[in-house]
Structure 1
Amino acid sequence: MLDAKILVIDDNKSVLSALEILLQFEYNTVTTISNPNQISSFPDLHQIDIVMLDMNFSAGVNTGNEGLFWLREIRKKAPAISVIMMTAYGAIDLAVEALKEGAADFILKPWNNDKLLATVRSAYELRKSQKEVHQLRQKESHLKQHINQSKNYIIGNSKALNTVLNLVGKVAKTNVNVLVTGENGTGKELIARELHKLSSRSNEVFIAVDMGSIAESLFESELFGHAKGAFTDAKEDRAGKFEAANGGTLFLDEIGNLSLQTQAKLLSAIQNKTIVRVGSNKPISVDIRLICATNENLDKMVVDGLFREDLLYRINTIRVEVPPLRERGNDILILADFYLNKFISKYGKQGLRINQAAQEKLMAYPWPGNIRELLHTIERAVILSESNVLKPEDFLLHVSKPISVDLGPETLEDMELLMITNALNQNDGNYSAAAEQLGISRQTLYNKMKKAGKQ
């Protein structure tokens, strides 16, 4: 017995009884009504799977207009229901009109039981498929929302950051390929997500792929998918990242890590806007917004023969250079405060604050690991804190020891900056102590750092 609800509407009680008897052995719920006016007040009409509707209810009328009217009413209230029209007066044009209005099928009276059951079964399969499609669309919508939800934020108001965000705002509305460059930890993926969020594809998926983590042997399967039986573990067809991102944005991080062989395969997919699954010969069209990112110097890699020039041209329509944290001035303290509040909440350490000397230490540090390093530094300080005030010694920064090299500073200003930086490092970022060591005032030290772009 099939799990379906059927509603039969006919003014002939003999027809209702016959259909109820016939259908009750096939379907778990069969309801009958003799007056179509009851449709308006029928409870939970949208939960009905199939309606079997007579086309004529008034004596001496056989035009079918009554049935068409009630078909429209049912479709207004519950458009997903499969409706089968029934009439004793068969006419091709009437059947065509009913189908145009959205009926699933047409049955003539008197009917053949086997044919009627087959017709109802087809309407049931149609309704079942429509339910599945609706559920899949809902799941897809929820999945897209979940994937696109980013708990990370672009934080800061420095001139360097605002320059990048202004460029992102201009580029986002287009579909051009974008290359995001910058040091490790600068937030290249955040910029890519911002491009997606501001684009016309924002309601579609954002798929991020770390190209550095994909083995070369799995490259095609991961990006282009595979057909069942393509290799030993391919037990079913599987879509790759290009197909998964269809209609949305595909973000390929660490693009500079690809071998020349995999670069050629990627170039072909980008140029042709089609992919072919491993083990298949069928080309599949894909519509994606491509954003790539790298911390490598791709121009130099092209010169060295390590990166294809034609691929660079394809992915580099617009280049967005994300500035390192050391060039973002006061954003260091803004980000430090943001992460401090985040970890205060996470670890339940209310009332923590960073004192002035510690802030100066954070500002003086060059942050080779950029925002990622700052995040871990703040988290570590919060976890290990023993008082409500975080001091310079609470921030463990990896200051590299000076390496003796033949080439010294190029200018007097460079030498001066090196001396100031060393003094700050030796005094844990304390400006007053560093200024005293150098024999200058704290304000002079601050002005020199500001002039050098370190503030």
Structure 2
Amino acid sequence: MHVAIVEDDINMRKSLEIALGEYEEFKISTYKSALDALKKIDNSIDLIVTDINMPGMDGIEFIKKLDGKYDVIVITGNATLSRAIESVRLGVKDFLTKPFEIETLVEAIKRHDKIRTKVKDSIDQNKGIKEDASDFIGTSPALDKALLMARKAAKTDVSVLLLGESGVGKELFANYVHKNSPRAKHAFVALNMAAIPENLLESELFGYEKGAFTDATSEKKGYFEVANGGTLFLDEIGEMPMILQAKLLRVIQERVMVRVGGTKEIPIDVRIVSATNADIQKSIQEGRFREDLYYRLNTIPIEIPPLRERKEEIIPICDVILERVIQKYGLQKRYFSEEAIESLMCYRWPGNIRELISVVERAVILSDAQAISKEDLFLESRKSFQ
């Protein structure tokens, strides 16, 4: 992939050139100014990384001159919401604030390289768009901070507790920890505590032996055994009944489990990632959650910020959802109007990414015009429920 770096600061320019040059899949070209880049860049360039504040011609004017011919990542030390909105209006997909980890930029570049393939491959005619549709397509300082902690946690084998509002993408984060861990080649298994009746939850977790109850005509492995060697994601952990909390604590401490109706101890090697949007401390005070289990699960807590604190991600996510819906339903090409973009950026998104996907999917389908308008989003009517 041929990446052009446009940066007037020679130290920053050289640092990026050296750091990115260590990746064999990248070919790097550097330019000291926007004017220099406009004279020399050609069709061999796949992606441009540019600063905003540069002498002669700033990054915004430079992007306008490019006229949409290249994918662009903006890096700047003076990020403002107005600059972010102006950038996304011009088609910029990522907006990074200095200082940033080089890994963050590398991930952003790789996303651009894969995004078109990802859009095509992700379309399933038999399924709707899932909450993980964003797949970290956008980036923001708040997201970068959480991802950095997730990468550090992934290298270890300790328990991780994901905290955050409903719809922020906790399962996606859990999968990210798994994929970046030594357990990546083994199973990632997810279980939503709130989705399974209390009387069935124990057998789902630990499995059961033949004859354990009336309908147990054969033995069955539970989620722990299926995830053995890999990662078990326990979503909505705050909904787990107290009696099962004691059994889970024993499994974590002793690394053995017993199936329902059995007596044999089965060795278990599972990395546990759990998540909740509930106030666990309040549940502990009210006697609904074991404090000792909380400390076992909370070795590394990761707070996933809500979408309203990750505004730089909104438009990149919207663009991917838009393309997926267009391809899935065979619709004519659509794009977001400037008013729609501003509305998307200013809305508070109480339902986070899950709500964003729903809003955009509906707007793309119902819009009668090529330009999706502010009215097509129906965000004004939603504000009364915030």
- Name segments (4+ residues, structure 1) moved above 2 Å: 397-403
Q: Name the SS for the 2:234 alignment partner.
A: strand
Q: What TM-score does the superposition give when structure 2 sets the normalisation length? A: 0.64
- Which of 291, 297, 302 aligns to 2:279? It is 297
Preserved CA contact (<8 Å) 1:181 1:320: yes
Kindly report which structure 2 residues correspond to 1:70-219, keeping only aligned pairs within 5 A, or say none.
153-219=135-201
Kindly report which structure 2 residues correspond to 1:1-400, keeping only aligned pairs within 5 A, or say none.
153-397=135-379, 398-400=381-383
Change in CA separation of 1:402 and 1:339 when aligned onto 2, cut-off 3 Å:
closer
Change in CA separation of 1:151 and 1:391 when aligned onto 2, cut-off 3 Å:
closer
> Over the residues paired in the alignment, what is the CA RMSD in angstroms?
1.5
Instruction: State the partner residue of 2:384.
Output: 401
Change in CA separation of 1:402 and 1:350 when aligned onto 2, cut-off 3 Å:
closer
Instruction: State the partner residue of 2:90.
Output: none
Q: % of aligned pairs identical? A: 50
For 2:357 and 2:295, locate their aligned partners in 1 and report how far apart those are by CA, in whole Å: 35
Structure 2 unaligned residues grouped into runs of 5+ = 1-131
Preserved CA contact (<8 Å) 1:256 1:294: yes
For 1:232 and 1:323, locate their aligned partners in 2 and report how far apart those are by CA, in whole Å: 46
Preserved CA contact (<8 Å) 1:152 1:190: no
For 2:167 and 2:311, locate their aligned partners in 1 and report how far apart those are by CA, in whole Å: 16
For 1:200 and 1:160, locate their aligned partners in 2 and report how far apart those are by CA, in whole Å: 26
Q: Return the offset for 1:205.
A: 0.4
Q: Deviations over 1:228-270 (max 9, x none)?
A: 0110100011110001100000000010111222211211221
Give 2:183's aligned amino acid. Answer: R
Q: Deviations over 1:331-358 (max 9, x none)?
A: 1112111211111111222320001101
Instruction: Tell me which of the two structures has the higher relative contact order, counting C-alpha pairs closer than 8 angstroms and 6 or more residues apart.
Output: 2
Instruction: State the partner residue of 1:24.
Output: none
Give 1:237's aligned amino acid. Answer: E
Q: Name the SS for the 2:211 alignment partner.
A: coil
Q: Return the offset for 1:219.
A: 1.9
Q: What TM-score does the superposition give when structure 1 sets the normalisation length? A: 0.54
Give 1:296's aligned amino acid. Answer: A
For 2:198 and 2:223, locate their aligned partners in 1 and report how far apart those are by CA, in whole Å: 15
Structure 1 or 2, whichever has the larger Rg, is 1
Structure 1 unaligned residues grouped into runs of 5+ = 1-149, 404-455
For 1:351 and 1:399, locate their aligned partners in 2 and report how far apart those are by CA, in whole Å: 26
For 1:327 and 1:262, locate their aligned partners in 2 and report how far apart those are by CA, in whole Å: 35
Q: Name the SS for the 1:359 alignment partner.
A: helix
For 2:308 and 2:385, locate their aligned partners in 1 and report how far apart those are by CA, in whole Å: 19
For 2:205 and 2:170, locate their aligned partners in 1 and report how far apart those are by CA, in whole Å: 21
Q: Deviations over 1:182-224 (max 9, x none)?
A: 1010000000000000000100000000111121111221111
Q: Name the SS for the 2:199 alignment partner.
A: helix
Q: Name the SS for the 2:293 alignment partner.
A: helix
Q: Return the offset for 1:402.
A: 8.6
For 2:134 and 2:282, locate their aligned partners in 1 and report how far apart those are by CA, in whole Å: 32
Give 1:401's aligned amino acid. Answer: S
Change in CA separation of 1:322 and 1:359 when aligned onto 2, cut-off 3 Å:
same
For 2:382 and 2:346, locate their aligned partners in 1 and report how far apart those are by CA, in whole Å: 11
Preserved CA contact (<8 Å) 1:155 1:334: yes
Q: Name the SS for the 1:281 alignment partner.
A: coil
Preserved CA contact (<8 Å) 1:211 1:255: yes
For 2:134 and 2:384, locate their aligned partners in 1 and report how far apart those are by CA, in whole Å: 34
For 2:175 and 2:385, locate their aligned partners in 1 and report how far apart those are by CA, in whole Å: 38
Change in CA separation of 1:295 and 1:235 when aligned onto 2, cut-off 3 Å:
same
